[in-house]
């Protein structure tokens, strides 16, 4: 298993449903060195062919943990700041100065994070990725990439070539 990126960011998927999105997130985690945490129930098994196919041969290079519920994940992560991504937030993801240990929290497709998770005391702020009007959301793996690469860019892409 790889060492985490030196800016030590964590991605959390709350009850993801679509196997290829999680497979793509595994690939993103492997290529950036961040940790990916999945909160059950998952809409698939980690051995699902679509997860494996989307993640290609990156599964062994990624740090992926599966947690039975959100409180268990918070206990394991001990986050100082959690940014919940939702199309209903007012603040843009670019208006944050990301730091080591930050957690980026994304909800399931197609519903997004439920209200009880958005109001979780661990959630520091709610953020959005700008889109044109009358659009519901971005693809989960794409949204993850947009936010993750902004955080990594702000840190000067430590560890990258």
Residues making up the binding site for S-adenosyl-L-methionine? 107, 129, 137
List Cβ neighbours of 127 (8 Å cut-off, separation of 6 or more).
83, 84, 85, 86, 89, 91, 92, 93, 95, 96, 147
**Computed from CA positions of residues 76, 13, 161, 8, in that sequence, does the dihedral angle turn out positive or negative?**
negative
Ramachandran assignment for 159, one of left (phi > 0), alpha (psi -120 to 50 degrees), beta (any other): left
State the residue for tokens 């000067």: 156
Q: Show the tokens assigned to 91.
A: 């603040």
Which residues are known binding-site members? 107, 129, 137
Of the candidates 81, 69, 65, which has an alpha carbon nearest to the alpha carbon of residue 22? 65
């Amino acid at each position: 298993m790889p060492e985490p990126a030196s800016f030590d960011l964590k991605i959390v998927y709350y009850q993801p449903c679509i196997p290829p999105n999680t497979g793509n997130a595994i690939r993103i985690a492997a290529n950036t060195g961040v940790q990916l945490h999945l909160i059950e129930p998952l809409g698939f098994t980690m051995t699902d062919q679509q997860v494996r196919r989307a993640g290609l041969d990156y599964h062994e290079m990624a740090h992926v943990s599966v947690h039975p519920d959100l409180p268990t994940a918070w206990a394991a992560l001990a986050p100082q700041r959690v940014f919940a991504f939702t199309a209903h937030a007012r603040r843009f993801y670019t208006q944050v100065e990301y730091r080591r240990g930050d957690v980026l929290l994304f909800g399931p497709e197609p519903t997004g994070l439920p209200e009880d998770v958005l109001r979780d005391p661990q959630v520091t702020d709610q953020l959005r990725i700008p889109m044109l009007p009358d659009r519901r959301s971005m693809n989960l793996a794409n949204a993850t990439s947009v936010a993750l690469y902004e955080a990594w860019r702000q840190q000067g892409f430590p560890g990258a070539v």
